[in-house]
Amino acid sequence: MHPILARNNVNVTGSGSQVIVFAHGFGCAQNSWKFITDAFLKDYRVVLFDYVGSGNSDISQYDYHKYATLEGYACDVVDIIEALNLRDIIFVGHSVSSMIGMIAALQKPEIFKKLVFIGPSPRYLNDQEYIGGFEIKDIEGIFMQIAEDYVGWTKVISPAVMQNMHRPELSEFLQECFEATDPSIALAFAMATFKSDNRENLKKLKVPSLTLQGVDDIMVPLSAGDYIQQHTPSNFLKVMQATGHFPHISHPEETIREIKNFIEEK
């Protein structure tokens, strides 16, 4: 196996010619896509992977300096695509992976056909007129909670971000995903995520993109999706009926439908 494919625990399934790469968000791994990937296997070639430090990736390859910014993760996305010798891919990124995918598409636009952002945010911190949803003290509080009691934090945050209180099994699944991540790596990933600001990059993006946004998402206000749509060429915004930050887990049918509607347009 190619060392990059081993490093990122890359798995390729499906039987179509069009390739879709699914990229998980903070604290998760490729198994977070399990509720929707079956719907794509018949018509698409599906690529799943774990970021270094997540899931079954090679944790010995984790570099705190490289992964201090989202650019480090974007380099790995490009590495994976090039190791598989892929072109014209559809990239589906959840949460922070939306911006990681955008950065990768700025690095190598020729290998991307379309981008799907699920719950994206170009900047989590509020900034004058821009509403990202968080103040500095909020972010610092999150960092402190992760550093002092990561497991305790996951128990609180999982139901809050899932926003499906009548289905506790979903929050439990998410909590298990979070707890599988090393706390020090989770903290580093959180810092890279919450300190990022990709607003200026949006206008440079040439690849068509779709923003899928759930309602009652405590991580990303609707204003963030509006901002992306207004400042990104060829971006389409769809506010879903799904609630929370993980519609691919809580509302898989709607998520599948919206992704297919976008990627199957000519």
- Which residue(s) pair with 123 in the sheet? 197
Distance in angstroms (rounded) separating the CA atoms of residues 42 and 65: 40
Q: Return the pLDDT at 165.
A: 86
Distance in angstroms (rounded) separating the CA atoms of residues 246 and 138: 21
- Residue pointed to by tokens 């939306």: 98
Residues in the chain, pLDDT under 50: none
How many distinct structural domains can be found in the chain? 1
The amino acid at 22: F
How many CB atoms are closer than 10 A to CB 42?
Answer: 9
For the segment 145-168, what is each residue's pLDDT rounded down to a tens digit?
A: 999 999 999 999 999 999 998 999
Residue 9 φ/ψ region, left for φ over 0, alpha for ψ in the -120 to 50 degree band, beta for the rest? left
Question: CATH code at 43?
Answer: 3.40.50.1820
Q: Known catalytic residues?
A: 95, 217, 245
Closest CA to 248 of 77, 30, 47: 30
Under 8 Å between Cβ of 219 and 134: no
Under 8 Å between Cβ of 41 and 113: no
Domain that holds residue 49: 3-263
Query: How far is the first Cα of the chain from the last one, in angstroms, to the nearest whole number?
Result: 35
